[in-house]
Amino acid sequence: MTRGITSRFVLLIATAAVLPLVVYGLVSVESLRRGTEQSVSRGNQEVARQIAKRIGQYFDNNVRVLSSIGEELNGTGLQPWQRARILRNHVLDFPEFREISVFDVAGRVLATSRPGVSTLTIPESVGTGETVTTTFYVATPHIDTDALPTTTLAVPLMQRSDTPGWIVAEISLEELWRTVDKIKVGNMGYALLLDEQARFLAHGNPNDKKLIASGAAPAEQKLAATLHQPGTAFESVTFRNDRNEQLLAVAADVGRPQWTVLVEQPTSDAFEVTNRLERQLLAAIGLAMLGTVVLGWLWGRSFIQRIFALTRAARAIADGHMDERVAPSGQDEIRQLGDAFNSMADRLVELQENVRKQERQAMFGRIAAGLVHDLSHPIQNIGNSCKLIQKMYEDIEYRETFRKTVERELVIVKRVLDDLRNIARPIPLERFAVDLNRTVADAAEAMEPHAETAGLTLRTELTPETVFIEGDVFALGRVYRNLILNAIQATAPGGLIVVATEAQADRVQVRIYDTGCGIPAERVSQIFEDFVTTKRRGLGLGLAISKKIVEQLGGTITVASEVGKGTTFVLDFPRTTARPMLVAG
């Protein structure tokens, strides 16, 4: 209960103080994330555009160089060796050129950088003659004899040349690898270059360069296709590569040639700042929440500490420590509660003392009344007999009657006194294996005359199986006798009393039931207490003693009763495998 109050108190503080902070933080994180995504995407897209522009310039420059060479060769009447030298100088100065050759419109080689025969031709797809209008042509990169991508750049020499034709150069795309390799985006971002068939020409990730040789680019092919789809606005895409890295990709079109530049950056890198801020914000919120909860808890505990003290004092009094009190502090309602508790405890002590006094008086009255009842009759009989013996002393027969009467009444007095002594100090039992049926039969046989006198039928119903329990024959006999006597006294003449035994696997039961008046339900739970009896007179010790004996023998005694129909006592004992010495012997 108090914990519930504390928790509620803490929850209230947390909700009031932290919830707005959490909401504010989440809104901030979301805004930051969106802003960063847009910013990173735009930034990367700008990088991609710049690379695409640079690649376009790369080809423009080469076209310019080749056009310049072509004009130089065609317009200045150079000797063949001079033409070859010019071409070779360019091959030396521009490492990406593996070969440069000049052709006339018929495709004949006019000059080549190769010391031997030119390996180049005019690309078939551009056509020849005066219909050519293109400013340059870039062949689809092909895998050369060394299985690496190479392309051919062809520039027409149509307009300003005396001798129309083509200047064709084979370009190793390894130079483009280096251009793309130099691009670093963030810490882990890189650029890629794909040709018009979406095959890799360059890959900025050192560990994926093998893809250039193998040409595989499944994810990037889709991106490039999206980029070139008419009417599609390509901004950025996130996808997972074959290493299960999530990447943010943007694309830019080179234009001419129709190649695609992709910039890929792991999202962990792209959004590193956002993620870091997010983590920091969440950590701050978490710490604030934790701090609030801890403070609330401490405050709450100090607040209800006095309630805890009241609780402890109440529990102590409930446990019987009637002198327990609280030390009131403060000036608030809990102080008043503490004072009230202490007053209540004082009053409770007084009331308890009164009750004890009344109980003692009642108990004394009951004992006295019982003793008077139990002893007055035999004492009166003895007194009457003494009076008669004075008159009839000469009568020998009467003297015998006198002796018997005095002895019988003294036995009764002695039994009452024994009962009192047993309640105060129980007699130790001697436990040994006894035949249950036999003890029951002996007791029933002894009580048979009493039953007949009362006009009752006493019947035994014993289990045919011989069963043994660890018991004291004399104590058991006393229990049976008490119970049968109670049944006789509670049953009207003509009634029936049955004493039965019943064996189970490891238990054995003795049932004694009668067709007597029964016990009211409200009294059933008290009949085994000392000095409690349903009879008008008597000490009420019989059942209390019987219960103590049965429990000393490891058994239980229960009662079921219905007013007007009868009562059943059930004694339940554990069976024993031991046997009486006589039987075993």
Partner 1 sequence: MACQSIQGRHRGQAPPLRRRPGRAALCLTVLTGGLLALGSCHRLPPAPSNAHTLRLGTQKTAETANVLAEKLSAEPLLVLDWHGRVVPRLASEWRWLDHGRALSVQLRPGVQFHDGKPLTASAVAAILRKNVRTDRAEGFRSLTSIETPNELTLVFRLDHPDSFLVEAIAGALVMDEADPKVRTGPFKILPRTPTVETERTPTIEAERNAAYYRGTPGLDRVEVTLYDTQRAVFAAMMRGYVDMVPEVNPESVEFLEGASQFGMVASVRPFYIPLVFNLRHPILKRVEVRRALVQAIDREEIVRQAMRGHARIADDPIFPSHWAYTSVAKQHLYNPGAARLALEAAGFPLRPPSTPGRMPSRFQLQCIFYNKDFQFERIAILLQRQLEQVGVDLVLTSVDEATLTRRAAAGDFDSYVFQLTSGKSFDWTYRFWHSKGGYQSTGYSGADAALNDLRTSYVDPDVRIAVANLRERFYEDVPAAFLAWPETTRAVDTRFDLGDHADPELFANPWQWRLSSTQKAAR
Helix (H) or strand (E) holding 398: helix 396-424
Q: Binding partner 1 by CB under 8 A: which of 124, 130, 146, 319?
A: 146
CB of 66 to partner 1, least distance (A): 18
When asked if residue 513 is in the footprint of partner 1 (CB under 8 A), the reply is no
Please say which residue, 205 or 267, places its beta carbon nearer to partner 1: 205
Partners of residue 435 on adjacent β-strands: 468
Q: Which residues contact 411 (CB under 8 A, 6 or more apart)?
A: none
When asked if residue 210 is in the footprint of partner 1 (CB under 8 A), the reply is yes
C-alpha span between 380 and 200 (Å, rounded): 130
CB of 64 to partner 1, least distance (A): 22
Q: Which residues contact 70 (CB under 8 A, 6 or more apart)?
A: 102, 155, 157, 161, 165, 167
| Interface stretch with partner 1, choices 125-133, 141-149, 409-417, 563-571 (CB under 8 A) | 141-149
CB of 212 to partner 1, least distance (A): 7
Q: Binding partner 1 by CB under 8 A: which of 10, 69, 91, 557?
A: 91
Please say which residue, 92 or 340, places its beta carbon nearer to partner 1: 92
| Interface stretch with partner 1, choices 24-32, 108-116, 158-166, 324-332 (CB under 8 A) | 108-116
Residue bearing tokens 């995407």: 41
C-alpha span between 83 and 70 (Å, rounded): 10
Give me the 213-242 binding string for partner 1, x by CB under 8 A, dash otherwise: xx----------------------------
When asked if residue 172 is in the footprint of partner 1 (CB under 8 A), the reply is yes
| Interface stretch with partner 1, choices 19-27, 203-211, 437-445, 470-478 (CB under 8 A) | 203-211
Chain centroid to CA 538: how far?
Answer: 63
Please say which residue, 93 or 323, places its beta carbon nearer to partner 1: 93
- Of 163, 233, 175, 191, nearest to 58 (Cα)? 175
Long-range contacts from 112-115, C-beta under 8 angstroms, 24+ separation: 112/84, 112/87, 113/84, 113/87, 113/88
C-alpha span between 160 and 172 (Å, rounded): 28
Count of residues that interact with partner 1, criterion CB under 8 A: 31
CB 200 within 8 Å of CB 192: yes
When asked if residue 148 is in the footprint of partner 1 (CB under 8 A), the reply is yes
Q: Binding partner 1 by CB under 8 A: which of 85, 366, 511, 579?
A: 85
Q: Which two tokens stand for residue 325?
A: 């009190």
Q: Which residues contact 382 (CB under 8 A, 6 or more apart)?
A: 405, 406, 409, 410
When asked if residue 383 is in the footprint of partner 1 (CB under 8 A), the reply is no
When asked if residue 81 is in the footprint of partner 1 (CB under 8 A), the reply is yes
Task: Provide the binding-site residues for partner 1, judged by CB under 8 A.
Answer: 79-82, 85, 88-89, 91-92, 95, 98, 113-116, 145-148, 172, 174, 177-178, 181, 206-207, 209-210, 212-214
